[in-house]
Structure 1
């Protein structure tokens, strides 16, 4: 079976599971008490999970063995998700390929400068991403790259100064672009202290542009310099429809030699048109994904499960606090459904009444009577059930993400271009860790 047919088969099977358990994916945590989510679980699941502690649930979702008799329907679900979901652990084969293709040059004396002003998570992401872009560019003989959503320019700066790409960063916020230019000049000022005049003269300064993208036509009209008539596209966690937009530009423009894109913010996709589905095949299937299912697909499953296993879950009670508050808000005024309350971190010293006052202080509403407080306190006694239902939904999240990402891969394959997908970041540091790499030779 060819790769394209394998992807189609995986998508078809994955969507069958997603549709079968759509009722579980759509149990939004805010509505736990309002809609009585616990009662929506099969009775056999209720019997098992009502007495299971969070540590065991974390171990179960992580794929570890636990000493509990589990319903066959749930075992089948967990095994299916594990079999069909894209692997999330980094692949040694790809890492070796990157190491072999990228030489040890790239201004070693300036290594630390590229990571200055960069937080730990971003350091990890831009270092790995830059190496992959360097490898991919070398494979298709392309030395120019355009980074979309470039922010402060950390990635595009590394691609230009270290990996010697003709590089441009596209950012919609003017302030970020201005800061990026300042950081370029700061790096060059420091570089002059460590490099000879000839090396400084060879430095390739990145370009920065302010563009708000809304259509594929804008990409063909970008004011790129002569050195960038052919280029690669880079998207490190582009939000919502931007990822699909970049893939469409790659497919439609022969000037684009490759693309390296890591998805994010699936809940902001425009479903049914430009964002999802992208492939013709998935469009023929029952492929709809709700906002709630796409939103949970962006959550950090490894870190969450690790916390449960370690017993570090006391602050997860805040989900029960918010769900109990939702019932109070709706009783007060149905128009307050899913009102944007203030985010409050849970502490053991925080009472439910204190939480409600802090969370609703900007809503300018009258809080309830003693009877409502008593009901809220009773709801909080079920906080473990809230955590359990959220955890069961999270177990399905990797499969939803798999559907979205494989749909993008298939879109490229349907246009006769090569495309692969790999887990490249440490999922505990950067949960959205799959990169789609496509090339035009």
Structure 2
């Protein structure tokens, strides 16, 4: 039976081979659909199968609900391969099964009148993430006999407030924007004011108040130079969706610093990774492991929500992708230098016509609308194919979880190569938080 490391290596090697075989699909930009003739890039058997397919049917197929539709064997094999290699994204809800803590009523987390204390100013998506992340961090801190936590990219401090006031951990938030840090301190005081109406003086005196630091992290040595209080001589690292190379930087600090006892990390913004952030493991560095910007960018999209919309037949607003692709052909026809011109987001509505869309786009580009009828006739012909634009985008998105798997397993293998333990758990609901895996590594 293969060891954990060997299983990961095998999965990484096969995943990268699949990605390399289908890089022609992953690297397609939807706005170039007509300019670069994306439909013609599909294998002939795929074109025949998907030519008149309703995207609703494809949504079910991508979601694993195969219909009676006859599909190419190459496509079926690809979908099965992706399914077998990809880290599961189905939330395991492990936190809910853990033994509940005994919490005193005279605490921020135990008083019935303070049940909503940590919800104020927090959006629903963030509430979901923070509640589950805090539970994982608390249990990991308990397992490693560690009572200090550093949260990087802490923003308004919502997570460190929960970790400090509710879970009684010494929590510090690291944030690069001074304005956010100042606002976090104000929210701390606001929370304490509310809590003081219901808790005893003794309980208020014993609160673990979070601290907030301003720092733009760019290298490992900055963390070593941080002046932390004695109460945090042992600490865990927390990163809830740190952008780009910040996640890998935290992993490297965890590996190199003995005072860091654990790390709980949720990835984000893979397209902003540089060679410093991927690949990390020595094994993957020795493979042909390149991941293009388009493939890393699409790996950050919400495939579950997208497939649900397709399955419900709720994809009319995706026509905006065909609008942008048809507009791109018009712009490149006027001047090749206008390729990928920044039109900025134009909000879709049921009443938005292509002509109105183009009028807004040309206005933003400060260009006159074309007057040639042939240009508009070709655009109308392009738009008649809008469902095939959706089909190609959907096929591309079906590969996205495999790219994310490679990035996550590379990080996990990097930790294992150092002789430390590491696991990846799909904790968040992927329909609420698409980057839903928490990487948990411990130093025993």
TM-score by length of 2: 0.96
2:254 is equivalent to residue 250 of structure 1: yes
Query: Once the 2 structures are TM-superposed, how far is the Cα of residue 229 of structure 1 from its aligned partner?
Result: 1.7
1:336 to 316, 335, 338: 338
Partner of 2:328: 326
Partner of 1:52: 53
Cα 1:104–1:373 shift into 2, 3 Å: farther
Give SS of 1:164's match: coil
Distance in 2 between residues matched to 1:357 and 1:147, nearest whole Å: 46
2:144 is equivalent to residue 140 of structure 1: yes
Distance in 2 between residues matched to 1:144 and 1:288, nearest whole Å: 37
Deviations 1:309-333 (A, max 9, x none): 1011000000000111111121222
Calculate the aligned-residue CA RMSD, in Å: 1.2
Contact persistence 1:102–1:131 (CA under 8 A): no
Deviations 1:351-381 (A, max 9, x none): 1111012234332122222322222121111
Query: Once the 2 structures are TM-superposed, how far is the Cα of residue 398 of structure 1 from its aligned partner?
Result: 0.5
1:420 to 419, 423, 434: 423
1:397 to 396, 400, 406: 400
Deviations 1:258-277 (A, max 9, x none): 0000001000100xx21100
2:383 is equivalent to residue 380 of structure 1: yes
Give SS of 1:100's match: coil
Query: Once the 2 structures are TM-superposed, how far is the Cα of residue 228 of structure 1 from its aligned partner?
Result: 1.2
Distance in 2 between residues matched to 1:222 and 1:243, nearest whole Å: 18
Distance in 1 between residues matched to 2:342 and 2:264, nearest whole Å: 35
Partner of 1:362: 364
Contact persistence 1:341–1:363 (CA under 8 A): yes
Query: Once the 2 structures are TM-superposed, how far is the Cα of residue 174 of structure 1 from its aligned partner?
Result: 1.0
Query: Once the 2 structures are TM-superposed, how far is the Cα of residue 111 of structure 1 from its aligned partner?
Result: 3.0
Partner of 1:5: 6
Distance in 2 between residues matched to 1:102 and 1:286, nearest whole Å: 47
Structure 1 outlier segments of 4+, above 4 Å: 101-106
How does 1:13-28 map onto structure 2 within 5 Å?
13-28=14-29
Query: Once the 2 structures are TM-superposed, how far is the Cα of residue 96 of structure 1 from its aligned partner?
Result: 5.0
Give SS of 1:60's match: helix
Partner of 1:433: 436
Contact persistence 1:302–1:428 (CA under 8 A): yes
Partner of 1:37: 38
Distance in 2 between residues matched to 1:359 and 1:348, nearest whole Å: 18
Structure 2: give runs of 5+ residues left out of the alignment. Answer: none
Give SS of 2:441's match: strand
Query: Once the 2 structures are TM-superposed, how far is the Cα of residue 27 of structure 1 from its aligned partner?
Result: 1.1
Partner of 2:314: 312
Partner of 1:352: 354
Distance in 1 between residues matched to 2:407 and 2:100, nearest whole Å: 30
TM-score by length of 1: 0.97
Give SS of 1:169's match: strand
Partner of 2:95: 95
Count of matched residue pairs: 437
Distance in 2 between residues matched to 1:107 and 1:424, nearest whole Å: 22
Query: Once the 2 structures are TM-superposed, how far is the Cα of residue 115 of structure 1 from its aligned partner?
Result: 1.2
1:216 to 207, 217, 220: 220
Give SS of 2:364's match: coil
2:73 is equivalent to residue 69 of structure 1: no
Cα 1:216–1:429 shift into 2, 3 Å: same
Distance in 2 between residues matched to 1:46 and 1:247, nearest whole Å: 44
